[in-house]
Structure 1
Amino acid sequence: MKKTYTKFQGWNIVILSTLIMTFVGNFQSNVHTVANGIMMASPGNTISQVTHGFVWTVVIAAGVVLGPVAGYLSDKIGAKALYITGSVVSVIGGFVLVQFQPNNGFIYVLNCGIVYSIAFMFTGSVTGQTLVNNWLFKLRGRASALINTGTVFAGVVTPIIANAIINRAGGDWKAAYYFYGATSIVGVVMALFLINKPSDIGQYPDGNPSALAQGEGGQSVTYKVYKNVDLTKQYTLASALKTPFFWLLLAVFIGLQALSSFLMSPGTLMFLEAGFDMSQISPVLSIRQVIRLVFLLLMMKYMDRIEPLKLLGIICGCTALGYFLSANLHTYWQVFAFYAVGSIANSTCLSMPGVILGNIYGYKHIGKIYGFVYAVAALVSSPLSTLNGVIRQSTGSYMIASYLHAGIGVATVFLILGSLVMLKREIARMSA
């Protein structure tokens, strides 16, 4: 017998999703960064630098595969099962596999490459965005930004907590793994209370039966931006792939992914090689988290009021300008410019594609559609990290790489302008 609810549960689901994403995937990601660096420098470590580097190749490859898998399963069996699976896998990695990790290259790749990727992807953006798209129409943008605030919180507190735990454990880096293993147990418990769709408990998106438009009546609720809520006009992945608009949007998201990834590769290395030291860079790394949080708060306010594609154009243009201005490094403010625009691009990459795709192609098959886009964007943009290294090796600096990414930002703006034209045609076609 289904439990009955008198109050709309959508926002409770969004909050639960935010907490699970924070306690599992985001805590795990940041612990890996801190603990694995200490492990590699410890006397008992037998993991080579080659194996350590290979792990990130595995993570990228696994992300490309698991993006569509997470999307398909989110639509097929629901996000709840994925959150539980990802959390359980994270518990195993944090408590069991870590015991064999420093003396076994296979276990290291398994734990920090495959297990990490499953936990991160199954409790990550694709799964969370699928939940948001099913539960909320009117304030979809606000909810999408909200579930990504956990990334900011984890980025601020996890390194502090992990280092404190390791110090209290006498330098034992495994203690930090136990921390995220414990938080993943909390994730399992919270995931048990998730509900995949409003219809599972006899409710409707937004808590409003009229939110679902049907047949000739068209859209029965007026939204400030276009949102495809008509049950008779929901796209499948196959039907979306047949539209030129979809491929133009895919090109836009590839450009956005490229702008986001430049924040991490080369990231800090670019400034260290330019003569800055970590005492100068570290304050900026903290400030960038504040910038990300402020940005997400603004997105909560505006993404349902202003067409998200327009906002995305402004963001990509500002990111291109920031990368251009910070290319020829010689002043400290350029460090701030780089991290400000890069952090905003990174948060945009996490919070905006799912909203745009859900608004245009509908909510019923958004997991499959977003999972496909996530995988292709990551796959096509991933060689840029290698290209950045080749440019650095050939020229002695990352300046040309910065100009390259600034150019990608400008090109993405023009693609977005074309997308806005096609969006008008899409709205007219769907209304006809």
Structure 2
Amino acid sequence: MADFDVSRTELSLAVSLTLFAGSCFAPLMGFLIDKFPVRNIICLASLWMAIGYLLLGQVASYWLFMAVLIPFQGLAWLGVGPLVHTKLMVNWFTRNRGMALGIAIMGISVAGVMTPLLNAYLAQTIGWRGSYQIYAAILVLLVIPLTLWIVRQKPQDIGELPDGDAQSVGNHVPVAPPVELGVVATYKEFLSSKAFWSVVLTFGLMNGVYSAMATHLPTYVTSELDLELYDGALLLTVAGGFAIGGKIVFGWMMDRLAAKITVMCGVVAYLASTLLLIFVEAYFGLLCAAAMFGLGFGGMIPVRSVLISRLFGVAKFSRVNGLLSFFIAPATFWVLITGAIVDATGTYGTAFKVWFVSFLLAGVVSLLVKLPDRQDAVA
């Protein structure tokens, strides 16, 4: 904002368009993930993201920044983010799928704990441009080699079955692979499913608010509460820490409890967090709000993946997951909406109230629709 002399709304627009661009291409990426080796996709996406970071370190204007950020970060994230992580987990796990998804995606929250404070330090020492060069080096020198060394598409590639069972397990009954429909018929099946649209509506209402919180919370505490940048970074670190716990706890709940109960617990965590942001300005209250926000956000990631794997099965998982990401793409504009509300009203209070209403509606939808439990899962 300082270097390019832009407002919150303009900065939020860059973030929202980046997330939106990725969501629009998610159906295509989902199709590719179901058809091609995941590690090849991760490596190509990491290289694309690294090129983008190198270019971002050279841009000299806000519009050039957007022109690089949107195609590189927006598209590369599809190939290194949850779409590929979740595909691997549904391939490798069946009875422990919820817990596996929670642990696997936990890496995002580990980064959420570590990087806000690290980013604040780097920004104030070598600048944001230099930070992007470091990120590019990490992708090329660490992420790509580790991916080639470790990642395998499915357990059968190393002589195992899902959940770590050996091929020789006597009580294993081979399951015939599902009949594969044509491309049009497959997507028609998704779009004609009431359960699919209920998941779209529920998670569309919740999905983008965490990005808005991560983008705006440091600005809120430094502009309205007269706190320091590191105070805002610490709040994001706390949110990331609780998101780690949320992934594991909610993943465990999905393996053992009713799906509706699990989803409602996440909604309650979101509502409690937003109420604290509306009514509390003391820093301890903000820490509690960040913790509840992180818990709900972290928990809903494995929950969503388990739900759609139960609805449509493993073979179609990435395609329906990509299509779901496309339909909840409008939620990415929560970042922009929040910035616009604050610029118009001069306060974050109104934006927090809008967040609360969104979570409340998500809770109502979750209560009204049927969510698939473990016994309802499609093979």
- If you compute each CA radius of gyration, which structure gives the higher value, 1 or 2? 1
**Separation in structure 2 between the aligned mates of residue 288 and residue 417 of structure 1, nearest angstrom:** 26
Aligned-residue offset at 1:80: 1.7
**Separation in structure 2 between the aligned mates of residue 249 and residue 166 of structure 1, nearest angstrom:** 38
Alignment of 1:134 onto 2:106: no
Alignment of 1:412 onto 2:362: yes
SS in 1 for 2:213: coil
Aligned-residue offset at 1:74: 0.4
Q: Within 5 A, what are the aligned runs for 1:156-175?
A: 156-159=113-116, 161=118, 171=126, 173-175=128-130
Alignment partner, residue 256 of structure 1: 206
**Separation in structure 2 between the aligned mates of residue 164 and residue 393 of structure 1, nearest angstrom:** 27
Alignment of 1:355 onto 2:310: no
Aligned-residue offset at 1:184: 0.9
Query: Are the aligned partners of 1:319 and 1:409 in contact in 2 as well (CA < 8 Å)?
Result: yes
Alignment counterpart, residue 65 of structure 1, candidates 24, 33, 57? 24
Alignment partner, residue 217 of structure 2: 267
Alignment partner, residue 136 of structure 2: 181
Query: Are the aligned partners of 1:64 and 1:374 in contact in 2 as well (CA < 8 Å)?
Result: yes
Aligned-residue offset at 1:290: 2.6
Alignment partner, residue 337 of structure 1: 288
Query: Are the aligned partners of 1:93 and 1:116 in contact in 2 as well (CA < 8 Å)?
Result: yes
Query: Are the aligned partners of 1:129 and 1:144 in contact in 2 as well (CA < 8 Å)?
Result: yes
* Number of residue pairs matched by the alignment: 366
Q: Deviations over 1:196-246 (max 9, x none)?
A: 22344554322446677647xxxxxxxxxxxxxx84699944312212121
Query: Are the aligned partners of 1:205 and 1:211 in contact in 2 as well (CA < 8 Å)?
Result: no
Instruction: Give TM-score, length-normalised by structure 1.
Output: 0.73
Query: Are the aligned partners of 1:324 and 1:406 in contact in 2 as well (CA < 8 Å)?
Result: yes
CA RMSD of aligned residues (A): 3.4
> Given the superposition, is the C-alpha separation of residues 204 and 232 from structure 1 closer, same or farther in structure 2, using an over 3 Å criterion?
farther
Query: Are the aligned partners of 1:263 and 1:343 in contact in 2 as well (CA < 8 Å)?
Result: no
Alignment partner, residue 247 of structure 1: 197
**Separation in structure 2 between the aligned mates of residue 53 and residue 391 of structure 1, nearest angstrom:** 11
Aligned-residue offset at 1:399: 2.5
**Separation in structure 2 between the aligned mates of residue 211 and residue 239 of structure 1, nearest angstrom:** 30
Alignment partner, residue 6 of structure 2: 49
> Given the superposition, is the C-alpha separation of residues 187 and 417 from structure 1 closer, same or farther in structure 2, using an over 3 Å criterion?
same
Q: Deviations over 1:91-128 (max 9, x none)?
A: 32344x356x2347675334332212232221001111
Q: Deviations over 1:117-169 (max 9, x none)?
A: 232221001111111111111111112111222223223333555566677xx
Query: Are the aligned partners of 2:45 and 2:79 in contact in 1 as well (CA < 8 Å)?
Result: yes
Q: Deviations over 1:237-278 (max 9, x none)?
A: 431221212111211111221443442354233334443412
Read off the aligned partner of 1:366 and give its amino acid letter.
Answer: F
Q: Within 5 A, what are the aligned runs for 1:299-310?
A: 299-310=250-261
SS in 1 for 2:90: helix
Aligned-residue offset at 1:319: 1.3
Query: Are the aligned partners of 1:126 and 1:370 in contact in 2 as well (CA < 8 Å)?
Result: yes
Alignment counterpart, residue 120 of structure 1, candidates 77, 80, 88? 77
Alignment partner, residue 106 of structure 2: 149
Query: Are the aligned partners of 2:109 and 2:298 in contact in 1 as well (CA < 8 Å)?
Result: no
Q: Deviations over 1:278-335 (max 9, x none)?
A: 2654443333333222323323543322234421111102311331243134433431
Q: 5+ unaligned residues in a row in structure 1: which ranges?
A: 1-36, 42-46, 216-229
**Separation in structure 1 between the aligned mates of residue 365 and residue 180 of structure 2, nearest angstrom:** 25
**Separation in structure 1 between the aligned mates of residue 173 and residue 143 of structure 2, nearest angstrom:** 32
Query: Are the aligned partners of 1:316 and 1:412 in contact in 2 as well (CA < 8 Å)?
Result: yes
Identity of aligned residues (%): 17
**Separation in structure 1 between the aligned mates of residue 28 and residue 173 of structure 2, nearest angstrom:** 27
Read off the aligned partner of 1:78 and give its amino acid letter.
Answer: P
Aligned-residue offset at 1:369: 0.3
Alignment counterpart, residue 368 of structure 1, candidates 308, 313, 319? 319
> Given the superposition, is the C-alpha separation of residues 164 and 408 from structure 1 closer, same or farther in structure 2, using an over 3 Å criterion?
closer
Query: Are the aligned partners of 1:291 and 1:344 in contact in 2 as well (CA < 8 Å)?
Result: yes
- Higher RCO (C-alpha under 8 Å, 6+ residues apart): 2
Which shifted more, 125-134 or 253-262?
253-262
Query: Are the aligned partners of 1:90 and 1:115 in contact in 2 as well (CA < 8 Å)?
Result: yes
Which shifted more, 85-94 or 366-375?
85-94
**Separation in structure 2 between the aligned mates of residue 173 and residue 249 of structure 1, nearest angstrom:** 37
Query: Are the aligned partners of 1:316 and 1:409 in contact in 2 as well (CA < 8 Å)?
Result: yes
Aligned-residue offset at 1:401: 2.7
Query: Are the aligned partners of 1:70 and 1:127 in contact in 2 as well (CA < 8 Å)?
Result: no
Q: 5+ unaligned residues in a row in structure 2: which ranges?
A: none
Q: Deviations over 1:181-201 (max 9, x none)?
A: 222122111222322223445
Alignment partner, residue 22 of structure 1: none
